[in-house]
Amino acid sequence: MKTIGLLGGMSWESSLEYYRIINEEIKRILGGAHSAKSIMYSFNFEEIEDLQHSGKWDILKDEMIFQADNLKKAGADFIVICTNTMHIFADDIERETGLKVIHIADSTARAIKEKSINKVALLGTKFTMEGTFYRDVLKERHGIETIIPEDKDRDRIHEIIYRELVLGIINDNSRREYIDIINRLANRGAEGIVLGCTEIPLLIKQEDVDIPVFDTTEIHSKAAARYALE
């Protein structure tokens, strides 16, 4: 079994889900008392959030690479970034550490294609929705078209993530707002919804909407567990 290097704490609520799902998947596959070999570096998300919103992405990139390299030195065989947004640095981490990064968008794309879906909507932080690093992977590597919410909906999605979900606050009114946004995206032709922030699955479940929902936390975690056993 390979040792998984986890870059976590972004936020710790979703990192907790990563740890749980990875270990459950290893146990499901191997049985008995098996669990994953893993090492986690957990960031202080307050610091990460401040740097994100002040646009200090170079500092963030250097810190992500530095901590990924520390995971390598500690014995990690590959890297899992336990958040969607910070996959903006996935290629940099691979290049600088020499370790494979299990990309969350690649893992999600495989799940999308299993359902023969060609067009999805992407929900996440504004950095993820408005950037190209995620949509480019879906389009260029997998041929999947991606649409994003309208401006005001992107603002509200982002606000709920940072003011509620990363703080562990689950609000029924916010759930209804997300469902309304998803329904509008479905009316624009989205065949599925990518929950492209690892906190969103804390709020939105498949039973909340009529079209397929892709829980990137679960998909990514299970992909990491399977890769550890290859």
**Among 157, 110, 90, 107, CA closest to 130:** 157
Q: Which of 83, 125, 146, 198 is catalytic?
A: 83
Whether 197 is a known active-site residue: answer yes
Whether 82 is a known active-site residue: answer no
CA distance readout (Å), 95 to 56, 65, 100, 101, 111: 21, 9, 9, 10, 26
Would you say 193 and 123 are in contact if contact means Cβ atoms under 8 Å apart?
yes
Would you say 15 and 8 are in contact if contact means Cβ atoms under 8 Å apart?
yes
Question: Token pair of 228, please?
Answer: 């550890």
3-state SS track over 95-163? HHHCCEECCHHHHHHHHHHHCCCCEEEEECCHHHHHCCHHHHHHHHHHCCEEECCCHHHHHHHHHHHHH
Q: Which of 125, 128, 146, 197 is catalytic?
A: 197
Question: Token pair of 13, please?
Answer: 């609520």
Would you say 198 and 84 are in contact if contact means Cβ atoms under 8 Å apart?
yes
In angstroms, the CA 132 to CA 223 distance is 23
Quick one: which H or E segment has residue 11?
none
Planar angle of CA 90, 216, 89, nearest 5 degrees = 10
> Which residues are known to be catalytic?
83, 197
